């Protein structure tokens, strides 16, 4: 079976691990990172900073720690088995269960793509006054071209470039404002629950831990595999994977924190209420200048495009996995998964009258599906039949199930809060 991520199965082959070789492992985690600096996160983080100042920074820290553990765990599945989460579900679960779970994951992927495409459309509206639906169409077309005409390696480099632009944009934004760093440092590690903040707290968590990222990470981590039959190679891969995941999630933590810091230093300080992304862009201009507003919109555009690309890849991986196939953009099943996610998402956008409300509804759909993906992942990675000696240890298993329970309860509470 042809696979996009070509593995070298020669037992005699062992990769070299020098200091600079570690850099070669950095990449898959960054594709996951763009999923939690997407437009949905922007809305949640700006609301957190504008309404509660620095007080909710701790939630970014907590949710990032939870994300590191979950993403690290699902990456182990890809490294130890050579299967993505979707493939493993089909192979190791009864058909009726795997079909139900993976069908719900495809629906979540569509919902994710909706938010990402919509965010890119909003950014184009900010920059060029293009109607949001027309902007969404341009984003969709561009993402199709990127996915269908580039290899994984090329896309990975583009994603790294996109994340770099987003990070540099917020560094520039933060250089224009005065941050109360003592307050910020304390808030990063001190949980507080200001009155009326629970909805925002749950929104921040729900926007960080996303179903499609768990499927995606188990697939793209295989781009760094060499020899599944050599225990020493696998163990080194597991260690270096953690480095990739940790560094990438730390970058995501910094960018999400920067959003809250910016909102706290501008909107919270001036007691300005922010209810949508376009409004935030317009309000930044008089506070920080026109250039700041443009940089904000450019960063949002890059976030929307990058996260749409990874959402499409995740959908391709999920759909191909239903046929026990790995993601390969040259394969019909992978292409079909990408097309289903992006085209249906764009079709729904055409009927959305309130873009900001569309972002909220998309997060609600993710909240419903997320518990199923987490518990599927933990079940598979805890199984000796699936993972062999690399299965979760008892302590890890308890921690992961506990995290799954916490995430599930908070996301269910977020869903219920809208009714």
How do the pLDDT tens digits run along the chain, 419 residues long? Answer: 334 444 433 344 444 545 555 556 666 777 888 877 888 788 788 888 989 999 999 999 988 998 899 999 999 898 888 899 999 999 999 999 999 999 999 998 998 899 899 989 999 998 999 999 999 999 999 999 999 987 777 888 888 888 888 989 888 888 888 999 999 999 999 998 888 887 788 777 767 778 888 999 888 887 655 545 566 767 777 777 888 888 888 998 999 999 999 999 988 988 887 777 777 776 677 767 778 888 888 999 999 999 999 999 999 999 999 999 989 889 999 999 999 999 999 999 998 877 766 766 776 677 778 889 999 999 999 999 999 888 999 999 999 999 888 877 876 776 676 56
On whether residue 15 sits in a domain, the answer given is no
Q: Is 298 buried (19+), middle (13-18) or exposed (0-12) by CB count in 10 A? A: middle
On whether residue 38 sits in a domain, the answer given is no
Say which residue the tokens 């071209």 belong to. Answer: 145
Give the pLDDT confidence score for residue 418 in this predicted structure. Answer: 58
Cα–Cα distance for residue pair 217/230, rounded to 1 Å: 22
On whether residue 34 sits in a domain, the answer given is no
Give the pLDDT confidence score for residue 224 in this predicted structure. Answer: 59
On whether residue 214 sits in a domain, the answer given is yes
Could you tell me the residue range of the domain that residue 386 belongs to? 45-416
Give the pLDDT confidence score for residue 1 in this predicted structure. Answer: 38
On whether residue 6 sits in a domain, the answer given is no
Say how many domains are in the chain.
Answer: 1
Go through 109-139 and write b for each residue having 16 or more CB atoms within 10 A of its CB, e for each that does not. bbbbbbbbbbbbbbbbbbbeebebbebbbbb
Pick from 18, 17, 25: nearest CA to 246: 25
Pick from 157, 174, 190: nearest CA to 255: 174
The CATH number covering residue 251 comes to 1.20.1740.10
Q: Is 384 buried (19+), middle (13-18) or exposed (0-12) by CB count in 10 A? A: exposed
Q: Greatest CA separation found in the chain? A: 65
On whether residue 246 sits in a domain, the answer given is yes
Cα–Cα distance for residue pair 338/246, rounded to 1 Å: 28
| Tokens representing residue 341 in the block | 């996610």
On whether residue 32 sits in a domain, the answer given is no
On whether residue 253 sits in a domain, the answer given is yes
Do 295 and 285 meet the contact criterion of CB atoms below 8 Å apart? no
Give the pLDDT confidence score for residue 103 in this predicted structure. Answer: 94
Give the pLDDT confidence score for residue 381 in this predicted structure. Answer: 96
Do 36 and 256 meet the contact criterion of CB atoms below 8 Å apart? yes
């Amino acid at each position: 079976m042809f696979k996009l991520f070509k593995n070298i199965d020669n037992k005699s082959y062992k990769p070299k691990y020098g200091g600079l070789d570690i850099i070669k492992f950095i990449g898959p985690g960054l594709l996951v990172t763009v999923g939690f600096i997407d437009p949905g996160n922007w809305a949640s983080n700006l609301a957190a900073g504008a309404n509660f100042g620095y007080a909710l920074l701790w939630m970014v820290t907590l949710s990032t720690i939870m994300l590191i553990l979950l993403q690290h765990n699902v990456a182990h599945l890809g490294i130890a088995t050579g299967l993505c989460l979707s493939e493993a579900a089909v192979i190791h679960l009864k058909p009726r269960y795997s079909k139900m779970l993976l069908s719900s994951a495809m629906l979540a992927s569509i919902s994710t793509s909706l938010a990402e495409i919509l965010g890119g459309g909003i950014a184009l509206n900010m920059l060029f006054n293009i109607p949001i639906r027309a902007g969404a169409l341009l984003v969709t077309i561009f993402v199709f071209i990127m996915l269908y005409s580039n290899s994984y390696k090329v896309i990975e480099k583009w994603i790294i470039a996109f994340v770099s632009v987003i990070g540099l944009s917020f560094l520039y934004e933060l250089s224009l404002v005065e941050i109360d760093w003592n307050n910020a440092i304390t808030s990063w590690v001190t949980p507080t629950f200001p009155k009326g903040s629970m909805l925002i707290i749950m929104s921040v968590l729900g926007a960080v831990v996303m179903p499609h990222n768990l499927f995606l990470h188990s697939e793209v981590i295989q781009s760094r595999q060499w020899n599944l039959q050599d225990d020493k190679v696998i163990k080194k891969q597991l260690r270096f994977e953690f480095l990739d995941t940790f560094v990438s999630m730390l970058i995501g933590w910094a960018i999400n924190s920067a959003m809250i810091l910016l909102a706290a230093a501008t909107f919270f300080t001036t007691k300005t209420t922010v209810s949508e992304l376009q409004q935030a862009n317009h309000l930044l201009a008089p506070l920080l200048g026109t250039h700041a507003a443009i940089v904000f919109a450019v960063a949002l555009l890059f976030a929307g495009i990058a996260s749409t690309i990874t959402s499409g890849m995740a959908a391709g991986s999920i759909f191909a996995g239903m046929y026990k196939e790995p993601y390969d953009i040259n394969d019909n099943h992978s292409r079909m998964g990408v097309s289903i996610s992006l085209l249906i998402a764009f079709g729904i956008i055409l009927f959305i009258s309130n873009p900001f409300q569309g972002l909220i509804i998309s997060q609600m759909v993710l909240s419903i599906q997320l518990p199923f993906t987490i518990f599927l992942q933990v079940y598979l990675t805890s199984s000796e039949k699936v993972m062999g000696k690399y299965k979760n240890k008892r302590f890890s298993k308890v921690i992961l199930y506990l995290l799954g329970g916490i995430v599930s309860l908070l996301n269910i509470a977020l869903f219920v809060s809208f009714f």
